[in-house]
Amino acid sequence: MMRGRLLAWALIWPVAAFAQNAADRRAQTEHLLDALKAAPTEAVAAPLETRLRQLWMESGTASVTLLMGRGLRAMKGQATDDAVEAFSDAITLDPNLAEAYHQRAIARYHTGDTEGAIRDLEATLTREPRDFAALRTLSEISAAREDWKGAYNAWTKLLEIDPKTPGGEDRLKELKRKAFGEDA
């Protein structure tokens, strides 16, 4: 009887530990996002942005984190098809991991699959609506497609989350001019 309980605990403990870690990461993410919105300067915001991106990248299980790393290495090596595959595998293991969709969106865009990239960005923002990095990617893709209103809307949302984005206000003015004309 005791051995059965120990075995059950040994099987459940990693899941419980991961759930606790996930809850801790979520609380830390919320705290960092609130701090980011209130950051008084770019210098204060920059390390908050970095820590948030790191948390989002490492929010999966060890297997998912391994696949995310594999995808990033593939992207660095210009092996975008391999990156798409690694991020897709991460999504299969953890379909709620927003950053896996974001990274796959970047990889898909680099393979020429713009529509797939946009779908992945939408999936990212459904799972993490305050993912400022995904909003930046969406704005950049929209601008590359000359969808200036889409680029402007995404950038506006980015600045609501991360008001001290370097060059943020200048970029917003530029996108507004392109989206709505010179006098906008």
* pLDDT tens column, 94-143: 999 999 999 999 999 999 999 999 999 999 999 999 999 999 999 999 99
Res. 40: pLDDT tops 70 = yes
pLDDT of 160 strictly over 60: yes
What is the mean pLDDT of the segment spanning 145-150?
A: 96
Question: What is the fold of 31-180?
Answer: 1.25.40
Domain ranges of the chain: 31-180
Q: How many residues are given for the chain? A: 184
Mean pLDDT of the chain: 87
Residue 142: name the closest of 124, 155, 161, 158 by CA.
155
In the prediction, which pLDDT does 11 show? 34
pTM: 0.83
Please tell me whether residue 12 adopts helix, strand or coil conformation.
helix
Q: For the residues 162-175, what does the mean pLDDT come to?
A: 95
Residues in CB range of 10: below 8 A, 6 or more apart? none
Q: Is the pLDDT of residue 170 over 70?
A: yes
Q: Tell me the pLDDT band of 183, cut-offs 50, 70 and 90.
A: low
pLDDT score of 26: 84
